[in-house]
């Protein structure tokens, strides 16, 4: 069956949201970065700032030198996530298969087989685009294509605004003249290798058979072979379809390599995640910690939790084990992401020899939750989190 995937792409989403909130930012270059931090880095920037040489992750002082007349805005990740929800909300009335990105302005909607109810996919996309315009004051780039890959490539072509419709069967001819760098999923190492074979457009690469591609690219060949022809069977995954997990992140601004700060932040994240887990009535069986260093090196590590738990100190013990293997460098840490997954219900069967300490801590956590619910999250704090806040 022919699929119809709509892709909405709001360029420089953080800037777009800020401009929607503060009209004074319109029509001038904008850099989103924490202004208070001495060593802040660029979170996002407008098109004008990009043209002046500003890039994501660049140290702020350097960005300001590249684009001295840019307005500086503090990032508000929460606001972007909410804006993302607002952006996706009308999509739900057209299809349950809706995949928003993480506060990044990308939205996929699978409207396959709904034309009899809602009209052609193009009309739906146009309506979603109009909604985005009323929300943010600017029309996003949007596309309709038979799959996610082509849809995304299509919005890249017309970005920052405009629309692009690729019909079924036109995927390959649509991609053929495009630069390989526009094909989603083909990253820098692949690009460099393709260029060494003098391949610069998707069409040139599409002339290769899978076994010819397999020779230099190995298992990547199958993806590349499909990608340059615009073939992609991946489904649009609504948030609920992903495995459940509790994700907490903390950006450090300024970045830091102070043990007290990092450990305090880790405990805070465990408390936040613990509270959410307890509210969901779930226990986690594993912690995954990812540290992102100031030089963009990432160290993901994990640790199991047995038996599964939602008690802060138990979560922290697991997170600390992951931390001990993840934090091995001297370079400052910019971002910490802590994920508790393998969620399950509390075991109905009680332990034969329960750890009395854990039992006590569980009670303390329950009381802490009640106090914080009544008097706010800062009403009671553990000592080690003071350093981090």
Partner 1 sequence: MIPLLVRSHFSLGWGTSSPDRLCARARELGYDRLALTDTNNLYGLWDFLSACRRHGIVPIVGAEVTDPETGRRAVCLVENQEGFSNLCRILTRRHCQRGFSLERAVKVFPEGLTVLTDSARLLSAWCREGVRTAGLLTCAPSSRNRLLAEAAQRLGVHLVAAPDSFFATPEEAPVHRLLRAISQNTCLSRLEPGDCALPDAWLAGSDEYTRRFAACPEAIQASHEIAERLAFTGPAPALVMPPWKEASGRDAAAILRQDAYAGAQKRYGRDLPENVVERLEHELAVIRDMNFSSYFLVVADIVRKSPRVCGRGSGAASLVAYCLGITNVCPVKHNLYFERFLNPGRTDPPDLDIDFAWDERDGVIARVLGEHPGRAAMVCSIVLFQPRMAVRETAKIFGLPEAEISRVTKKLPWHWRESAADEGFLDSVCQRPETQGLSFPEPWPEIMALARRLLGMPRHLSVHPGGVVLTPDAIDGYAPLEMAKKGVPVIQWDKDGAEEAGLVKIDLLGNRSLGVIRDAVDSLTENGAHLPDRWEPEDDPATQAAVAMGRTMGCFYIESPAMRLLQKKARVGDFEHLVIHSSIIRPAANDYIREYVHRLHGGEWDPIHPLLSDVLSETYGIMVYQEDVSRAAVALAGFSHAEADRLRKVMSKKDREHHLTDYRERFFSGAAENGVVPETAAQVWDMILSFSGYSFCKPHSASYARVSFQAAYLKEHFPAEFMAAVISNQGGFYSCFAYVSEARRMGLALLPPDVNQSRIAWHGRDRKLRVGLMAIRSLSEACRCRIVGQRLKGSFSCLEDFLARVRPNEDESRALILAGALDRFEDESGRAGLLWRDARWRKIREKPGQMELFRETVHGVKAPAMPPEAPLDRLRREFSVLGFLCEHHPMELFRGSLAKVWTVPAADLARHAGKRVRTAGWLITGKVVRTKHNDPMEFLTFEDETGTLEATFFPEAYARFARILDHGRPYLLEGKVEEDWGTVTLTVDSAQPLAATTDA
* 211 touches partner 1 by CB under 8 A: yes
204 interacts with partner 1 by CB under 8 A? yes
Q: Say whether residue 51 binds partner 1 (CB under 8 A).
A: no
CB 163 within 8 A of CB 129: yes
Interacting residues of 144 by C-beta distance below 8 A, sequence separation 6+:
4, 5, 6, 7, 121, 122, 125, 151, 165, 166
The reply on whether position 330 binds partner 1 by CB under 8 A is yes
Which CB sits closer to partner 1, 15 or 60?
60
* Residue 242 near partner 1 by CB under 8 A: no
| Nearest alpha carbon to residue 320 among 299, 294, 289, 276 | 289
**CA distance linking residue 383 with residue 389, whole number of Å:** 11
Determine if 324 is a binding residue for partner 1 (CB under 8 A): no
- Asked if 255 is part of the footprint of partner 1 (rule: CB under 8 A), the reply reads yes
Determine the Cα–Cα distance for residues 148 and 76; give it in Å rounded to an integer: 28
Does 316 participate in binding partner 1 (rule CB under 8 A)? no
Coil, strand or helix: which one is 227? Answer: helix
| Given 22, 38, 325, 371, the residue binding partner 1 (CB under 8 A) | 38
Pick 222 or 375: Cβ nearer partner 1: 222
Binds partner 1 (CB under 8 A): choice among 20, 56, 59, 159: 59
When binding is defined by CB under 8 A, the residue of 260, 351, 355, 373 that contacts partner 1 is: 260
- Terminal-residue alpha carbon distance, the chain: 53
Q: For residue 386, report the phi and psi dihedrals to the nearest 5 degrees.
A: -65, -40
Q: Does 259 bind partner 1 (CB under 8 A)?
A: yes
Instruction: Pick from 35, 112, 256, 299 the residue near partner 1 by CB under 8 A.
Output: 256
Q: Which of 142, 267, 293, 340 binds partner 1 (CB under 8 A)?
A: 293
When asked if residue 179 is in the footprint of partner 1 (CB under 8 A), the reply is no
- Nearest distance from C-beta of residue 260 to partner 1, angstroms: 7
Among 20, 56, 165, 214, the residue binding partner 1 under the rule CB under 8 A is 214
User: Smallest distance from the beta carbon of 369 to partner 1, in angstroms?
Assistant: 31
Q: Could you identify the residue written with the tokens 């910490």?
A: 336
At 205, give phi and psi (nearest 5°). -70, -30
Segment interacting with partner 1 (CB under 8 A) among 68-76, 158-166, 248-256, 302-310: 248-256
- Sheet containing strand 282-293, edge to edge, reads 246-256, 333-345, 282-293, 298-309
- Work out whether 325 is an interface residue with partner 1 (CB under 8 A): no
The minimum distance between CB 261 and partner 1, in angstroms, equals 8
Is 208 one of the binding residues for partner 1 (CB under 8 A)? yes
Ranges assigned E (strand) in the chain: 5-9, 30-32, 44-45, 71-73, 98-100, 106-110, 141-145, 162-165, 246-256, 282-293, 298-309, 333-345
Length of the chain measured in residues? 389
Torsions phi, psi for 106 (to 5 deg)? -105, 135
User: Residue 281: how many CB atoms within 10 A of its CB?
Assistant: 10
d(CA 319, CA 337): 11
Q: Which segments of 111-205 are extended strands (E)?
A: 141-145, 162-165
Applying CB under 8 A, which of residues 112, 114, 181, 257 lies at the interface with partner 1?
A: 257
Size of the site for partner 1 (CB under 8 A): 35
Applying CB under 8 A, does 202 fall inside the site for partner 1?
Answer: no
320 lies in the binding site for partner 1 (CB under 8 A) = no
- Given the complex with partner 1, which of 134 and 328 has the nearer CB atom? 328
Task: State the pairing for strand pair 71-73/30-32.
Answer: parallel
Q: Which residues contact 261 (CB under 8 A, 6 or more apart)?
A: 252, 387, 388
Asked if 168 interacts with partner 1 (CB under 8 A), we say no
Answer yes or no whether residue 145 interacts with partner 1 by CB under 8 A: no
Residue 203 C-alpha from the chain's centroid: 30
Min dist CB 148 to partner 1, Å, is 27
Residues in contact with partner 1 by CB under 8 A are 38-39, 59, 61, 65, 196-200, 204, 207-209, 211-212, 214-216, 218-219, 254-260, 293-295, 330-333
């Amino acid at each position: 069956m022919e699929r119809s995937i709509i892709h909405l792409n709001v360029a420089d989403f953080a800037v777009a949201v800020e401009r929607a909130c503060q009209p004074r930012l319109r029509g001038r270059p904008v850099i989103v970065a924490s202004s208070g931090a001495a060593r802040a880095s660029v979170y996002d920037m407008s098109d004008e700032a990009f043209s002046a040489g500003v890039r994501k992750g660049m140290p702020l002082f350097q960005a300001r030198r590249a684009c001295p007349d840019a307005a500086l805005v503090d990032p508000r990740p929460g606001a972007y996530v909410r804006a993302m929800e607002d952006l996706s909300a009308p999509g739900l009335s057209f299809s349950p298969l809706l995949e928003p990105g993480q506060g990044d302005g990308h939205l996929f909607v699978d409207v396959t087989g709904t034309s009899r109810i809602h009209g052609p996919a193009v009309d739906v996309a146009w309506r979603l685009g109009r909604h985005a315009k009323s929300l943010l004051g600017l029309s996003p780039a949007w596309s309709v294509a038979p799959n996610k890959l082509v849809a995304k490539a299509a919005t890249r072509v017309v970005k920052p605004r405009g629309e692009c419709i690729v019909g079924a069967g036109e995927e390959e001819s649509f991609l053929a003249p495009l630069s390989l760098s526009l094909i989603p999923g083909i990253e820098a190492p692949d690009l460099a290798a393709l260029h060494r074979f003098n391949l610069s457009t998707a069409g040139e690469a599409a002339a290769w058979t899978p076994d010819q591609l397999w020779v230099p690219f190995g298992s990547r060949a199958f993806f590349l072979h499909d990608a340059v022809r615009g073939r992609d069977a991946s489904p649009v995954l609504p948030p609920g379809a992903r495995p459940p997990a509790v994700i907490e992140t903390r950006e450090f601004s300024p970045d830091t390599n102070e043990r007290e700060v990092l450990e305090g932040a880790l405990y805070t994240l465990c408390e936040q995640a613990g509270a959410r887990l307890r509210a969901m009535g779930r226990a986690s069986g594993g912690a995954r910690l990812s540290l992102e260093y100031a030089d963009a090196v990432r160290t993901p590590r994990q640790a199991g939790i047995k038996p599964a738990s939602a008690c802060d100190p138990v979560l922290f013990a697991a997170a600390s084990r992951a931390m001990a293997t993840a934090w091995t460098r001297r370079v400052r840490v910019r971002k910490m992401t802590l994920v508790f997954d393998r969620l399950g219900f509390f075991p109905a069967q009680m332990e034969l020899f329960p750890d009395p300490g854990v039992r006590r801590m569980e009670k303390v956590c329950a009381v802490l939750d009640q106090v914080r619910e009544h008097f706010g999250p800062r009403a009671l704090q553990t000592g080690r989190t003071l350093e981090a806040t």
